[in-house]
Amino acid sequence: MRILVAALLVLVVSSAHSAEKPPIDGWRYPTEADYTGAWKEFRQEVPVPFHVQGDFNGDGIIDDAWILIGTKGKGWGVFVFMGQQNNSKKIIQLDDNPSSDYLNRMGIELASPGKYETACGKGYFDCEKGEPEVLDLKLPGINYFTYESANSFFYWDKKSKTFKRIWMSD
């Protein structure tokens, strides 16, 4: 049953976007054909590893985070489409990788509000100035991860009105 639900989610997400104009010139949404590597291997655990939704900035409007694939050569990036009052989207690029080497080893999931020990808090390395040992996530964030390896969170900082990135593991 879980596999059927996962397949339906991918079909709905892929179908809804495959017919649309690419969200940003030079980028496209992932499709069923992109399910290779870890995306395929861990599909049961993470059915849609390239898309999450949440109110990342706390304005009451749902935002979308995507891993998009470059159409001009190789590469991929992580983007947030911030919902606006006028139904438009403000696009923010969080990461850019010019190589396609690790695309299907990377994923995104929703990071729920809560307290999380950071990588420096776990002693993986020294905390930099202003970097907390424990992240107190007040709003949903984006867990950006390499399967069976490192991860970081992107989260909205209300004070600076930008996304910040913090390493959760190495």
50-59 per-position pLDDT tens digit: 999 999 999 9
The segments of the chain whose pLDDT lies below 50 read 1-16, 18-19
The reported pLDDT for the residue numbered 13 is 47
126 in helix, strand or coil? coil
The reported pLDDT for the residue numbered 22 is 56
The reported pLDDT for the residue numbered 21 is 58
Neighbouring residues of 1: CB distance < 8 A, sequence distance ≥ 6: none
* Own/partner long-range contacts of 77-84 (Cβ < 8 Å, ≥24 apart): 77/27, 78/108, 78/142, 78/144, 78/154, 79/23, 79/24, 79/27, 80/56, 80/142, 80/154, 80/163, 81/23, 82/56, 82/57, 83/59
Task: Please check whether residue 82 is in contact with residue 63, taking contact to mean a CB–CB distance below 8 angstroms.
Answer: yes
The reported pLDDT for the residue numbered 88 is 86
Cα separation, 98 vs 69, in Å, equals 10
The reported pLDDT for the residue numbered 141 is 98
Domain boundaries, given as residue ranges, for the chain: 2-169
* Residue 10, Ramachandran bin (φ over 0: left; ψ between -120 and 50: alpha; else beta): alpha
Cα separation, 110 vs 155, in Å, equals 10
Q: What is the pTM of this model?
A: 0.86
Cα separation, 127 vs 129, in Å, equals 7
